């Protein structure tokens, strides 16, 4: 039962362009959403979060958008840099648990 879905397993973007990573969820009880970035052989690193009462949160080059009616979350990275190449996980919280998507591998091409 995958309550959080990342339907694109991979994405390639040219350096300097915008990267858009998408995430869909099914549980309307989720009240807090996060994006994590993961490099090989390392644990996930927190990137940015958004509460369900907001529809946008921005932190530098990273912006997260939440569309509650569509149950859709997206992460925008602009401009994309080669160091952004990693696997990105979205996560959603209800109760004690965070539910994670399966990840999108982003490759930023120099």
Partner 1 sequence: NAGVMQNPRHLVRRRGQEARLRCSPMKGHSHVYWYRQLPEEGLKFMVYLQKENIIDESGMPKERFSAEFPKEGPSILRIQQVVRGDSAAYFCASSPEINYGYTFGSGTRLTVV
Other C-beta atoms within 10 Å of 96: how many? 5
Q: Is 96 in the site for partner 1 (CB under 8 A)?
A: yes
Q: Cα-flanking dihedrals φ and ψ of residue 84, to 5°? A: -80, -10
Per-residue binding string, partner 1, 21-60, x by CB under 8 A, is -----------x-x-x----xxxxxx--x-----------
Q: Is 66 in the site for partner 1 (CB under 8 A)?
A: no
Q: Is 89 in the site for partner 1 (CB under 8 A)?
A: yes
Comparison of 12 and 97: residue with beta carbon closer to partner 1: 97
Contact between residue 77 and residue 91 where contact means Cβ atoms under 8 Å apart: no
């Amino acid at each position: 039962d995958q309550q959080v879905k990342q339907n694109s397993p991979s994405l390639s973007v040219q350096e300097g362009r915008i990267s858009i990573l998408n995430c869909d969820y099914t549980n309307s009880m989720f009240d807090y959403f996060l994006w994590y970035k993961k490099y090989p052989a390392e644990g996930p690193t927190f990137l940015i979060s958004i509460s369900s009462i907001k529809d946008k949160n921005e932190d530098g080059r990273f912006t997260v958008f939440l569309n509650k009616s569509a149950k859709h979350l997206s992460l925008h990275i602009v401009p994309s840099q080669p160091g952004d190449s990693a696997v990105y996980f979205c996560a959603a919280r209800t109760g004690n648990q965070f539910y994670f998507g399966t990840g999108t591998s982003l490759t930023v091409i120099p």
